[in-house]
Amino acid sequence: MSIAMSQFLESHGLARNPFIEEEAQNDKVFEELVNEADYTFNHQAWDKFFGDPPGRGTSMIFGVKGSGKSALRLALERNIEHYNSEHQDQGRILMLRYDDFNGFLEAFKRKLEQDRRRQVAVTLKDFGLAQHLDAILVCGMEALIKEFKSADIPLERLERYQRHDLMMLMAFYVSGPPDRYNRIISTLARRLLARGVFKGAFSRLQGLIVGLLTLGIVPLAQGAFYRGVARAAEREILVRDRNTRDVERALRSIPRGYLKDQDVKRGGWRDNDDVRRLFATKFIDIVLKLGYQQIVVVMDKVDEPSLINGDRERMEDFVWPLWNNRILQLHPNLSFKMLLPRQLYEAVRKASSEKANEARFDKQKIIYPFRWGDKQLFDMMSARLRICRNDSSQPYSLDNLFASVIPQREILGALDRLRQPRFVLNYLYRLIAETCAQADRVDGQPVRISHEVFYQVTATIGEDIKQYYQTLGESPE
């Protein structure tokens, strides 16, 4: 005989199962708790990670899978969204999500493999700081485009040279299919570089007269110049694909003199960090002029791209170029929040003096280990129980699920062995499922996890955790 899980939940006044989700991205219970807690996160590392205003200051968290890194990121995102809603006019935070790496890495690999001069296989060691900054600028353009759609962005504040800066960066870094790209560029050009009817007509007439007087040589030279810049951009920027004609069309709204000053028609800036730092600085200046006070780059999920697939050495090859103090401390209004797999902490700990001096880890806020105590986990699960009850105003302790003969210290001991929220959620779900399988009736009293079920399921924890970490290639310690 058995009972349905819904009967177990109803006996405790629960409208839903608090332990069914293990991924923070889809966890509505966690989202409600964060909203209820004024968009903060109940962990001792929160303040060091968070910053004031939200996102200020570079920090790095190293934690194992399931430790709550993504939950921490989501709490930061919600906090920034809330902060921005209360600072519509001035002082908003621009957040860049740098966590979807597959598109960047695949374009990078494809372009390098098409280079006939290349004699060796493409590896992640080829993905340098310049490519990271290119990818971050793509994320930056997407963040601005989203802001343009959702808020009244005062583009009129930009100086003329900043308008040209923004048009160039958009021409180089807007992603997506051609129709989207051309639509965004056309709309932005009208807003940034608007010309009156008479001024536009005069400019076209002037161009026609110059073309006639020079027998078409000047227009041809101008076309060749813009085409050359577009080809250079396509050759040197490896993290995204774009048709050269579309880029050329986008660049034609920018004066030739401006583009000549940027020195972007030449070849050889594919791996030039200084060019990307200049672009990044232009981007920061534009964002600050538009009324934002901080740019936050949130880096997560570095183990997930198909070219990395959780391999520690590949992750290290990928991340190391970005551990560069010249970038991490490039500007006081630019900060990085890096949520990284725990294995990468070994690279920090064992870094050579040369690499350590380049990264200046002493200047970054490093959070390691990222762990949970048994009482923290107990309180977290109790909060999840409360928020899922029909009456969520009253506390409901986790030990209410267990038979009274099971002392709280033994429940805490089991949580201490699990250590990670993901393991605890899975463990409690299993306890409830096994209880339902063995229970034979509901008599109006709360159905509780029996002594036998508790020890039966708890006895298997150690082996399950060991196998999980062996699969990941790391240790739970």
Residue 54 sits in the same domain as residue 186:
yes
468, part of any domain:
yes
In a domain, 34, yes or no: no
Give, in order, the Cα–Cα distances in Å from 427 to each of 198, 342, 384, 424, 465: 72, 22, 14, 5, 11
Residue 246 binned pLDDT confidence (cut-offs 50, 70, 90)? very high
* Burial category of 148 from C-beta neighbours within 10 Å (exposed 0-12, middle 13-18, buried 19 and up): middle
Instruction: Establish how many alpha carbons lie within 13 A of residue 9's alpha carbon, considering only the half-sphere containing its beta carbon.
Output: 19
Q: What is the pLDDT confidence band of residue 317, given thresholds at 50, 70 and 90?
A: very high
Pick the more confident residue, 334 or 202: 334
- Exposure string for 178-211, b = 16+ CB within 10 A, e = fewer: eeebeebbeebbeebeeeeeeeeeeeeeeeeeee
Chain centroid to Cα 286, Å, comes to 21
Q: pLDDT class for 216, splitting at 50, 70, 90?
A: low
What are the start-end ranges of the H helices in 94-177? 102-113, 129-150, 160-173
418 and 344 co-located in one domain: no
Q: How far is CA 189 from the centre of its chain?
A: 29
> Are residues 265 and 144 part of one domain?
yes
Mean pLDDT across 127-141: 98
Cα separation of 283 and 335, whole Å? Answer: 14
* Range with the poorest average pLDDT among 198-212, 238-252, 392-406, 440-454: 198-212
Q: Domain check: are 117 and 72 in the same one?
A: yes
Of all residues in the chain, the percent with pLDDT exceeding 70 is 92
Helix (H) or strand (E) holding 338: strand 334-341
Q: What pLDDT score does 467 carry? A: 73
- Taking only the tens place, the pLDDT of each residue in 149-176 is 877 888 999 999 999 999 999 999 999 9
Q: Are residues 347 and 377 in the same domain?
A: no
CA-CA distance, 283 to 289, in Å (whole number)?
Answer: 10
pLDDT of residue 167: 96
In a domain, 29, yes or no: no
**Separation in Å, CA 174 to CA 145, 231, 297:** 9, 16, 17
Q: ∠ at Cα 237 (235, 242), nearest 5°?
A: 75
Lowest mean pLDDT across 178-192, 213-227, 323-337, 397-411: 213-227
Q: Are residues 277 and 422 in the same domain?
A: no
How do residues 72-102 score in pLDDT, each as one tens digit?
A: 999 999 999 999 998 887 789 999 999 999 9
pLDDT of residue 206: 52
Neighbours of 376 (CB within 10 A): 15
Q: What pLDDT is stored for residue 209 in this prediction?
A: 54
What integer pLDDT is reported at residue 116 of this predicted model? Answer: 81
Read off the pLDDT of each residue in 315-338 and give the average, rounded to a whole number.
Answer: 95
pLDDT of residue 210: 45
* pLDDT computed for residue 17 by the predictor: 96
355 and 385 co-located in one domain: no
pTM, entire model: 0.88
Average pLDDT over all residues of the chain: 89
Query: What confidence category does residue 194 fall into, taking pLDDT thresholds of 50, 70 and 90?
Result: low
- Same structural domain for residues 319 and 379? no
Question: Is residue 472's pLDDT more than 70?
Answer: no
pLDDT tens figures, 28-64: 999 999 999 888 888 888 889 998 888 999 999 999 8
Question: Torsion over CA of 435, 66, 49 and 333, rounded to 10 degrees?
Answer: -130
- Contact 363/325 with Cβ under 8 angstroms? yes
Q: ∠ at Cα 77 (179, 337), nearest 5°? A: 95
Higher pLDDT, 140 or 369: 140
**Could you tell me the strand order of the sheet in which 59-63 lies?**
92-98, 292-299, 334-341, 59-63, 365-367
Kindly state whether residues 335 and 393 are assigned to the same domain.
Answer: no
In a domain, 102, yes or no: yes
Give the sign of the dihedral formed by CA 268, CA 273, CA 277, CA 279. positive
Rounded-to-integer distance, Cα 64 and Cα 76, Å: 19
Whether residue 384 lies inside any domain: the answer is: yes
CA 17 and chain centroid, separation: 29
pLDDT (0 to 100) of residue 398: 97
pLDDT in tens, 410-445: 999 999 988 889 899 999 999 999 999 998 777 788
Higher pLDDT pick, 464 / 178: 178
pLDDT at residue number 129: 97
For residue 115, what pLDDT is reported?
A: 84
Number of domains the chain contains: 2
Look at residue 22 and tell me whether its pLDDT is greater than 90: no
Residues 159 and 193 in one domain: yes
Domain boundary among 308, 341, 367: 367
For β-strands 92-98 and 59-63, DSSP reports them as: unpaired
pLDDT of residue 433: 95
In this structure, the answer to whether residues 332 and 237 fall within a common structural domain is: yes
First to last CA, the chain: 41
Q: Which of 322, 349, 367 is the last residue of a domain?
A: 367
pLDDT value for 196: 39
Nearest Cα neighbor of 133 from 288, 301, 324 is 324
- Count the alpha carbons within 13 Å of 352 in the hemisphere toward its beta carbon: 3
**55-68: string of b/e by CB count within 10 Å (b at 16+)?**
bbbbbbbbbbbbbb
Domain co-membership, 424 together with 450? yes
pLDDT band of residue 202 (cuts 50, 70, 90) is: very low
Answer yes or no: is 218 within a domain. yes
DSSP percent split of the chain into helix, strand, coil, nearest 5: 60, 5, 35
pLDDT at position 475, please? 59
Which one of 139-153, 180-194, 269-283 scores highest in mean pLDDT?
269-283
Q: Is 178 part of a structural domain of the chain?
A: yes
Q: Give the domain extent around 271.
A: 43-367
> What integer is the mean pLDDT of 359-381?
91
**Among 337, 367, 397, where does a domain finish?**
367
